[in-house]
Amino acid sequence: MNFLHLLSAEAVQHIIIHCLNFSVWRSADGQPPDLLSVKFKAWSGDVIEAGGELEPEVTEDTCWIKDGRWHQTHFVLHSLDPALLPVVNIYNLPNPAVGAHYHLEVGPVCFL
């Protein structure tokens, strides 16, 4: 991994959280991220979160809709410091209640 980090100028990783009846980023359309939204632990040990130095780009967030159907929140983590990626842990995933579920889709890292 160190070899890739040294030879790269930037890195990108996509993470999609598929959810049923609970939010992972914000509580309503047009609202800022919740204080208890998900956070990502970077390879370097840094935490990537809303309002942090490296805030993930959210290209889709429909998890706040609680209508009994599956929705998703799509995070794009793009960094000019390739040592931050890949993500090694995800914090603040809620404990699903009855009728609420999620699954993760963690994409590969593209080192550029």
The reply to whether the predicted model has a pTM over 0.85 is yes
Q: What gap in Å lies between CA 54 and CA 108, rounded to an integer?
A: 19
Q: What is the pLDDT of residue 35?
A: 83
What is the 8-class DSSP label of residue 33? P
Instruction: Sketch out the chain's domains with CATH numbers.
Output: 2-111 (2.60.120.1000)
Helix (H) / strand (E) element for 104: namely strand 101-111
Q: Which pLDDT score, from 0 to 100, does residue 70 have?
A: 96
Walking along the chain (112 residues) 10 residues at a time, the average pLDDT comes out as 89 96 88 89 92 88 93 96 95 82 95 95
